[in-house]
Amino acid sequence: MSTYRVVPAGSVFDRFAKHIFILPGLGVLVALVIYPTYYLIRLALSNFDLTFMTKPVFIGLGNFIQILSDTYFWGALGNTLVMASIAVALEFVFGLGMALLLNEDLRGGRIIKSLLIVPMMIPPVVVGLNFKLIFDQFGPLNDLLQRLGVSCVDWLGNPLMAKVSVILADVWQWSSFMFIIFLAGLQAIPQYLYDSAKVDGASGWRTFRFITWPMLVPSATVALTFRVMDALKIFDVVYMVTSGGPSFSTEVLSLYIYRTGFRFGTLGYASAVAVIMLILLTAIIEVIIKETRLGKRLEWE
Amino acid sequence: MKVKSKYVKHCLHYMLICSALVFYLFPIYWLIITSLKFPGDVTASPVVWFTTKLTLDNYRLLFGHTGALWGAKQYVGRSFLPSIAPYITNSIMIGVLSSGFGLLLGALLAYGIVRFRIGGSRLYNWLLSLRMIPPVVVAIPMFTVFRTLGLIDTWWAVASAHLLMSIPFSTLLLIGFFSDIPGDIMEAALLDGCTNLGAFSRVVLPLAAPGLVAVFIIAFLTSWNELLIANVLTTTAKAQTFPVYTTSFAQVERGTAWGPAAAGGVIGMVPMLISSFYIQRYLVRGLTMGAVKE
Amino acid sequence: MKNVKKWTWIIRLVILLLALTLPSSTILAKEVLRIAIMSSHGMSDSAEAIAKKFNKLYGDKIEAQVTAIGFDILLDKMLTDFTTGSGSFDVYSVGYHWIGTVGNYLYDLEEIRKKYPGVEDPNYDFKDFPPILWDTYATWKGKNIGLPFVDGTLVLFYRVDLFNKPEYKAKFKQKYGYELHMPQDGDTKFLTFKQLRDYAEFFTKGIKWRDGEQYGISLPAASGDPLLSMYAMFFGAYRRSPEGLKIFGQVDPDYGDYFTSDHRVAFDPAISDLGIKALQDYLALSKFSPNPVTRDWITSSEPFRSGLAAMFIGWGGYWPSITDPTSPVHGKVGVSVLPAPHLGGWCVAINKKTKHPKEAYIFIQMLTSKEDTKYLYEAFTETPTRLSTMTDARLKAKYPDLWVMAPSLKNPSVRPKIPVLPKLEYAMGRTLGKAWTGEMTPEVALKAVAEEWNRIVKQAGLR
């Protein structure tokens, strides 16, 4: 008695079901990615200065040639790479350490875990604001150092220390990201592996080296990939803590593009820098995804 | 002898954990105590580490009340901090719009991918690589496009820009959730005379409901935290979001409004913290777009 | 069935929320005059007060609404608003040094006055504005693009209690051979930079006046607006000296002190050594301050506010917040004129795309009217742009900081009003900052900045 079935299986609707499910999402994504990308490239090939122009004027590769000799760009690129790699490396170490500490049955372990996740939950803008206060020349961190008898550090005034400050803020916020991924990885390691290692009389280090670590590699690659992606586009914290200073020792690519585009109003040039950033990041991420075979994680295939 | 060394090890273990907790929780303590301090104590020298002289003035100031912003009890003037309320509304609306639509489109797409096995790892990689696009790169073309459409400074502009984050995210995560559903159930539904849409809405979605909620929340939080795009695509309180509001504190002419700024930070933190309890189960999955399962 | 309900409520909620958003974006209220004001105490409060007054008169037809926007993003937002033509605001407060960047988008007020003959207030009195303020704030490329709104000159705040203590005075005289004295109202002689440096040195190292850290002075050198203005102050002293005028020629008001009369970069070591001398003055004074490179206007005022520094160079408008009763330096602060004052300040201008030019003009006219300038100064401590307020005997007796304003306007240095100013600001911040961090010697840094500036100006076709 299927007379009321308006759309029977095998009907027109079902024949196109595939498309009906796929197309809206994919369509919107393509519109959101392809068109802006096309537009970005077009802008990158034009001169477009908001202070006195209403329409972009095509100039070919002029912007890119100018970038080659733009020391600000190279400086920002260098800063981004240096700060991102150091920050991610530190986060890796901190996250792994904490995961190992908390992997054992502890009293209050659950609460501690929830507390350690908190930094990641705070909006990056707020983190930046907070650390600006903490790193101030007369702020709590220097006060503590003084009380401990160490001399004050000019956290935000010294080009090197400013980099350290930004890295510290990033590490503070994101090592918990590494931490929970590692913890999940650790907890997925079956107990019998440890038991058999104990029977064999393996030392703590050897257990880690030959059992824990190999089992952790998949989580580690995922954690690293995601952190590298995010660290390379860091903006909020730098914007809030140093806004690129002093003497632009903490200027990062995102900030430089933002500045050239929306403060100087030279959208064409900013687009060209953005295109280069996009190509660079895509290359880096492509390599990582390929090397780590993230795409192969589709279990149903 | 052995008991003793075990005891020492245990102590050491706890000490390490405690120092980690101090490192991670001190800045949060500092934010909260700053938000409760009187203006004179905020940048006092020597530093006020702890005080019982606390006030809620900083929070009141954020909602348009007059108070001791600079301790200026005599100077009768309204605090010029714009009220936080419209910014929070904007944040919520933009978050709901972008994660709502993202969830809808993402669920359809994910079902299509799982059910019809299209795309394969190439599509997966593409979706994954979208996460890497820096917001600043998106911001420039989006700005010019929305400029021509006359949509600058509206919820729609920011929300659709945020879709770029929420659709791939929802899709990837839901692929995981949907493929967790045993194939038998889906096939049974289809054999039972359900259309694909029927199977999707009556069988798959209800089974993945908790996952859907988690996806919605995480997408919402991503939108809530995003600064750059929201800053570029807006000009006024009509569409500016909470993070954009936060950047304005350090720019008040007469001394940074540290107190209210910290209070704003605490307010912006709250939805994140509350929902973090719900999504903790899905957090690992959510943050890695389904690449790691707990 | 239970399961079905569980997920449909999510969708229902989403749809409901979406439905709610639709009407709210389409409902149109009555005509609104939108005003964007820099978010500082005096400015936004004054605009708010005048908006109330405006609404009482014209509220049935059009309503004035004030929005406060932070200093750092105001220019970005203005540029966005102008270029998108979205016309979010009809009236803007414009820092005069931004005029070059946004000037093309501002209404020529003369046009409005011609188009609407009755719009002018007969008691407005244009002559009451000091000529330097009218030329700097209100004029650009010969057009009248705004009305002077807020006067800002850099002034010297100092601790009266320290400078008047006989013990310190004696010790200072013994050490430096002359009196420790801050110019007061009526004094004809300004401070010299040498004096300022001696004072700063004395209160940093010469004497112990507080427990813990102490600084003679607090001054900013953070990249951006602070560095650009502060260096302009030091350089202006040389630029406007007889020697400087001989080398560089007269100051072009649109190009400011940083350029020669034929629009070359004046501090370029290739032209003369005056730029380096000015930078060395700046660096020498910086030694007695909490690290200036990290400090902008706000953060450099904080050490002074909390009693760590004996002097502080900042905008006159900081006075009320520094002297407020709960501040640790309350009742101990005085104001004096700097050796070579520097001019900041704001005009109110009208968006060229506005639909209400007449109403906008009436509003900015009310905001800067003769009688209300006095009221706004008293009520909100908004620093006046009118001579009649600056020299008012009653107000001067009541407010100990007011006297500085008029003498500070004698030949102050000004920043450029050219389109590429944000780029120049950035280039200076990036490179000149290295003279403080020690990455470059002052000469090398200054030379690099001059080259960069010449390149930017040339590229923009300004020479």
pLDDT in tens, B68-87: 444 443 333 344 567 888 99
Helix H, strand E, coil C: the string for B243-288 is HHHHHCHHHCCCCCCHHHHHHHHHHHHHHHHHHHHHHHHHHHHHHC
CA atoms of B217 and C10, how far apart (whole Å): 12
Neighboring chain C residues of B143 at a CB cutoff of 8 Å: 80
* Token pair for C147: 């009305």
Q: How many CA atoms lie within 13 A of C310 on its CB side?
A: 28
Query: What percentage of chain B reaches a pLDDT higher than 90?
Result: 22
pLDDT confidence of A12, banded at 50, 70, 90? low
Chain B: residue whose CA lies nearest to C298:
B255
* Token pair for C216: 């003679």
Read off the pLDDT of residues B163-204 as tens digits, 9 standing for 90 and up.
998 999 899 888 888 887 887 777 787 777 777 777 888 888
Residue B287 touches partner C, C-beta closer than 8 Å: no
Q: According to DSSP H, which parts of C32-70 are helical? A: 41-58
Residues C80, A262: C-beta atoms closer than 8 Å: yes
Residues B43, C298: C-beta atoms closer than 8 Å: no
Cβ-count burial A104-136 (b if 16+ within 10 Å, e if not) = eebeeeeebbebbbbbbbbbbbbbbbbbbbbbb
CA atoms of C231 and C221, how far apart (whole Å): 8
CA atoms of C99 and B123, how far apart (whole Å): 50
Could you say which residues from 104 to 143 on chain A have a Cβ atom under 8 Å away from some Cβ of chain B? 104, 106, 112, 114-119, 121-127, 129-134, 136, 138-140, 143
Residues C17, B96: C-beta atoms closer than 8 Å: yes
> Nearest CA to CA, how far is C299 from chain B (Å)?
7
Q: Indicate whether C330 and C352 sit together in one domain.
A: no
CA atoms of A240 and A254, how far apart (whole Å): 13
Instruction: For residue C219, tell me if it sits in a domain.
Output: yes
Could you say which residues from 233 to 262 on chain A have a Cβ atom under 8 Å away from some Cβ of chain B? 233, 235-236, 239-240, 253-254, 257-258, 261-262
Neighboring chain B residues of A118 at a CB cutoff of 8 Å: 24-25, 28, 273, 276
Q: Indicate whether C45 and C65 sit together in one domain.
A: yes
Neighboring chain C residues of A51 at a CB cutoff of 8 Å: 79, 101-102, 104, 419-420
Is the separation of the CB atoms in B138 and A29 below 8 Å?
A: no
CA atoms of C165 and B146, how far apart (whole Å): 63
Complete DSSP assignment for B207-241 = HTHHHHHHHHHHHHHHHHH--HHHHHT--STTT--
Chain C: residue whose CA lies nearest to B104:
C11
Is the separation of the CB atoms in A145 and B54 below 8 Å?
A: no
Substitution target from B70, B78, B235 for chain C, most C beta carbons within 10 A: B235
Instruction: For residue C238, tell me if it sits in a domain.
Output: yes
> Nearest CA to CA, how far is B65 from chain A (Å)?
22
Chains contacting B (3 or more CB pairs within 8 Å): A, C
Residues B152, C297: C-beta atoms closer than 8 Å: no
CA atoms of B165 and C27, how far apart (whole Å): 30
Q: Indicate whether C400 and C423 sit together in one domain.
A: no
Domains of chain A and any CATH numbers: 58-297 (1.10.3720.10)
Neighboring chain C residues of A70 at a CB cutoff of 8 Å: none
**3-class SS shares of chain A: helix, strand, coil, % to 5:** 70, 0, 25
pLDDT at position C8 is: 61
Residues C298, B255: C-beta atoms closer than 8 Å: yes
- Number of domains chain C contains: 2
Is the separation of the CB atoms in C234 and C284 below 8 Å?
A: no
Neighboring chain C residues of B39 at a CB cutoff of 8 Å: 326
Average pLDDT of A127-146? Answer: 89
CA atoms of C264 and B51, how far apart (whole Å): 56
Mind listing the pLDDT tens digit of every residue in chain C (463 residues)?
444 455 566 566 656 665 555 544 444 456 888 888 876 656 888 888 899 999 999 988 899 988 877 777 788 888 878 877 767 789 999 999 899 888 888 999 999 999 999 899 999 999 999 999 999 999 999 899 999 999 889 999 999 999 999 999 999 999 999 999 999 888 888 889 999 999 999 999 988 998 888 999 999 998 888 999 999 999 999 999 999 999 999 999 889 999 999 999 999 999 999 999 999 999 999 999 998 988 888 788 888 988 899 999 988 878 877 777 767 888 899 999 999 999 999 999 999 988 899 999 999 999 999 989 999 888 877 889 999 999 999 999 888 888 999 999 988 999 999 988 988 998 998 889 889 988 899 999 999 999 999 999 988 887 7
Q: Indicate whether C36 and C131 sit together in one domain.
A: yes
Residues A159, C439: C-beta atoms closer than 8 Å: yes
Q: Which domain range does residue C268 map to?
A: 153-342+415-459
Quote the radius of gyration of chain C (alpha carbons, Å). Answer: 25
Q: Indicate whether C72 and C146 sit together in one domain.
A: yes
Residues C380, B77: C-beta atoms closer than 8 Å: yes
C92 three-class SS: strand
Domain residue extents for chain B: 2-62, 85-287
Residues C430, A72: C-beta atoms closer than 8 Å: yes
Q: Indicate whether C130 and C169 sit together in one domain.
A: no
Is the separation of the CB atoms in C313 and C338 below 8 Å?
A: yes
**From the list B216, B237, B252, which residue is nearest C67 (CB)?**
B237
Going through chain A in order, the beta strands assigned E by DSSP cover: 46-47, 57-58
Is the separation of the CB atoms in A221 and A292 below 8 Å?
A: yes
Residue listed under structure tokens 């209160």: C203
Neighboring chain C residues of B253 at a CB cutoff of 8 Å: 38-41, 71, 297-298, 315, 317-318
Residue B33 touches partner C, C-beta closer than 8 Å: no
Q: Indicate whether C157 and C131 sit together in one domain.
A: no
**Is A239 a residue whose pLDDT tops 70?**
yes
B246 Cα distance to chain centroid: 14
Chain B: residue whose CA lies nearest to C306:
B44
pLDDT confidence of A301, banded at 50, 70, 90? very low
Q: Indicate whether C81 and C207 sit together in one domain.
A: no
Q: Indicate whether C447 and C311 sit together in one domain.
A: yes
Fold category of B85-287 in CATH? MetI-like fold (1.10.3720)
pLDDT confidence of A300, banded at 50, 70, 90? very low
Q: Indicate whether C215 and C309 sit together in one domain.
A: yes
Q: Indicate whether C447 and C302 sit together in one domain.
A: yes
Chain C: residue whose CA lies nearest to B208:
C7
CA atoms of B204 and B111, how far apart (whole Å): 8
Substitution target from B203, B212, B253 for chain C, most C beta carbons within 10 A: B253
Residues C222, A259: C-beta atoms closer than 8 Å: no
CA atoms of C180 and C166, how far apart (whole Å): 10
Residues A119, B225: C-beta atoms closer than 8 Å: no
Q: Indicate whether C312 and C399 sit together in one domain.
A: no
Q: Could you tell me the CATH number of the domain that includes residue C427?
A: 3.40.190.10
**From the list B47, B140, B247, which residue is nearest A125 (CB)?**
B247
Complete DSSP assignment for A95-131 = HHHHHHHHTS--TTHHHHHHHHHHHHHS-HHHHHHHH
Residue listed under structure tokens 């606390």: B54
Instruction: For residue C256, tell me if it sits in a domain.
Output: yes
* Token pair for B280: 């903790």
